[in-house]
Structure 1
Amino acid sequence: MTDRRLTPANGRVAHVSLRGEVAAERYTEGERRRVCRPVAAIRDDRRPRARLRELILHEVFVVLEERDGWAFGFAARDGYVGHVRADDLGPELWQTTHVVTARQSYLVEEPVLKTDAEISAISFGTRLSVMTTHEDGRWGEVAVLRAPGEEEGHKRTSTMYVPMAHLAPVNARDADPVTVAERFLGTPYLWGGNSGFGIDCSGLVQAALMACGVDCPGDSDMQAALGDEAEGAPERGDLLFWKGHVAIVVGADRLIHANAHHMAVAHEGIEAARRRIEAQGEGAVIAHRRIARPPERATSLTPPRG
């Protein structure tokens, strides 16, 4: 049985990779579009547009079909399938050079530290193309997609500035997923969330692993297939799974997870978490996985698309 979350097809249309595997009226490569809002939800059409996952500003969503104001397709980062509001998407006008690695940052209209200009909050994972820098490298000048209704005439982008201290080259890798996850400490828990404004357990794991160059699916049941089954005491970076929940091991008796008990990303003792979750009727740990780190790679001078 196919997993709807990873099968880009709806009967009317399917991705060309599924030709001969699923029935559809037509097959298409789709059109790459970029998110033009700080956060955009990927929604489920079978549960009154319930939020499944989220996309971050300038991430790519591949549109296979557009109907009644909704775009059907999949996220380029992990293939997650669903519907996004069509007016949350704009054209793919540039290649990414940098990505926001702070939990949150901001865009401002002038490259000045002491300013009364309006700012726009942006999240970890926001993808930007830095055209030049100002004030000895303090500020990056970037183009930002405007959402429909915000255009000036036919202009789809505006020039903004972002603190370079909050960015890393798109090809850079973090060394430790735990360190990445700890940047989110205190972030509000949000079911289906993927941003520095609100995140859930699997969103936190995906953000931490992908920042370290590890491909990672979006939901915890998919993530339970990552790596190898671990034996013995938990080690830093291991993943512990319960039914519908995942946490990252920080140390011998400490983990970090986004959870509804704290309504935030929080540290918790491993044994304390085991007892609490079991007492809630959600069972014992069902998997303990160890994730291999990818080999080091040379930094490319040409950033990938995405």
Structure 2
Amino acid sequence: MSDARLHPDPALCLERRAAQVTAALCDLCRGPGGKRDRQLLYGDLVTILSERDGWSYLQAEKDGYCGHVRSAALGPVQKATHYVSAPASHAYAAADFKSPDLIGLSLNSRVAVTDHSGRFCETPVGFIPEMHLTPLSAPATDPTEVAARLLGTPYLWGGNSRWGIDCSGLVQAALHACALPCPGDSDLQETQLGTLRASGGDFRRNDLLFWKGHVALVTDARTLIHATANVMAVTFEPIAEAIARIEAAGDGPVTAHRRL
């Protein structure tokens, strides 16, 4: 059976039209008005496959994920030049931090910089502080360092932003900021990312540890970072404590240790 997350429903494929997300953040739902599976950020590219009653069925370019998004959150493609490399930022009405803020943008949102004004970059959504943006040609190089930028972000099932993120969303955000491909869910990450390592230790920075329905990034030989419902936030945790706690809670042992 094909995975509906990654393979479009032929019955809903009535067109193919390129678009991008123009809302700061939108839910990618299993059905129109249904459960959130993941989220899309401003500037994410998509292919619209059909549209009905204010909902667009689409496939996201960044990970192939299929689902339904409110059509009002989509617009024409604008060639992005930069991505938000800060945990979050604002676009302002003018090149002045005292001017009205127009939209909030999360880490990895993509924007088209059209001009510069002092310490601000001009974009179609407003003026964004230059220090919060990085050219797409200069991705980050350390996924764990990117994940740490989101320390304290609230846990949100299916979340992909600074305003709420889950375990697989954190890993995807960290890898995408480094221009590394990454699927959206932990079960897909477990089979597609890196190479499998023998269990029992030898943990290195940027290794991935998987449990049933959970994933974490290793920061050093003794510590990991993850978005966990245990504290409802992105947090550091000793590896040994996390392994013992998760198993004691009934969620089983580590299912895979993979190295990027």
TM range, smaller chain: over 0.9
The residue aligned with 1:240 is 209
The residue aligned with 2:96 is 112
Q: Is residue 34 from structure 1 mapped to residue 20 from structure 2 by the alignment? A: yes
Spell out the pairing of 1:24-103 with structure 2 (5 A cutoff). 28=15, 30-45=16-31, 49-92=34-77, 94-103=78-87
Q: Residues 220 and 192 from structure 1, CA distance in 2 versus in 1: closer, same or farther, beyond 3 angstroms?
A: same
CA contact (8 A) 2:115 2:121 kept: yes
- State the Cα distance separating 1:117 from its structure 2 match: 2.5
- State the Cα distance separating 1:116 from its structure 2 match: 4.4
Query: What residue ranges of structure 2 are gaps of 5+ in the alignment?
Result: none
CA contact (8 A) 2:12 2:49 kept: no
Q: 2-side partners of 1:118 and 1:265: how far apart?
A: 26
- State the Cα distance separating 1:119 from its structure 2 match: 4.5
- State the Cα distance separating 1:65 from its structure 2 match: 0.3
Q: Residues 243 and 126 from structure 1, CA distance in 2 versus in 1: closer, same or farther, beyond 3 angstroms?
A: same
The residue aligned with 1:173 is 139
Q: Is residue 252 from structure 1 mapped to residue 204 from structure 2 by the alignment? A: no
CA contact (8 A) 2:90 2:101 kept: no
- Aligned counterpart in structure 1 of residue 122 of structure 2, from 141, 145, 155: 141
Q: 1-side partners of 2:81 and 2:174: how far apart?
A: 20
Computing the radius of gyration from Cα coordinates, the structure with the larger value is 1
Q: 2-side partners of 1:72 and 1:118: how far apart?
A: 31
Q: Residues 116 and 91 from structure 1, CA distance in 2 versus in 1: closer, same or farther, beyond 3 angstroms?
A: closer
Question: Could you tell me the percent identity over the aligned residues?
Answer: 46
| Secondary structure class of the residue paired with 2:246 | helix
1:203 aligned partner, one-letter code: G
The residue aligned with 1:4 is 4
> Which structure has greater helix proportion?
2
1:198 aligned partner, one-letter code: G
Q: 2-side partners of 1:130 and 1:174: how far apart?
A: 19
Q: 2-side partners of 1:143 and 1:173: how far apart?
A: 22
Q: Is residue 290 from structure 1 mapped to residue 259 from structure 2 by the alignment? A: yes
Q: 1-side partners of 2:12 and 2:208: how far apart?
A: 38
User: If the length of structure 2 is used for normalisation, what is the TM-score?
Assistant: 0.95
- State the Cα distance separating 1:37 from its structure 2 match: 1.2
| Secondary structure class of the residue paired with 1:8 | coil
User: 1:158-217 CA deviation, whole Å, 9 max, x = no partner?
Assistant: xx1000100100121211111000000000001000011111000000111122221110
Q: Residues 118 and 101 from structure 1, CA distance in 2 versus in 1: closer, same or farther, beyond 3 angstroms?
A: closer
2:155 aligned partner, one-letter code: Y
- Aligned counterpart in structure 2 of residue 126 of structure 1, from 109, 112, 119: 109
Q: 1-side partners of 2:93 and 2:239: how far apart?
A: 45
Q: 1-side partners of 2:112 and 2:188: how far apart?
A: 31
CA RMSD, 1 decimal: 1.4
| Secondary structure class of the residue paired with 2:104 | strand
| Secondary structure class of the residue paired with 2:179 | coil
Query: What residue ranges of structure 1 are gaps of 5+ in the alignment?
Result: 14-25, 145-159, 292-306
- State the Cα distance separating 1:11 from its structure 2 match: 2.0
Q: Residues 11 and 34 from structure 1, CA distance in 2 versus in 1: closer, same or farther, beyond 3 angstroms?
A: same
Q: 1-side partners of 2:47 and 2:87: how far apart?
A: 26
| Secondary structure class of the residue paired with 1:275 | helix
Q: 2-side partners of 1:236 and 1:77: how far apart?
A: 24
- State the Cα distance separating 1:120 from its structure 2 match: 2.6
Q: 1-side partners of 2:58 and 2:224: how far apart?
A: 35
CA contact (8 A) 2:92 2:99 kept: no
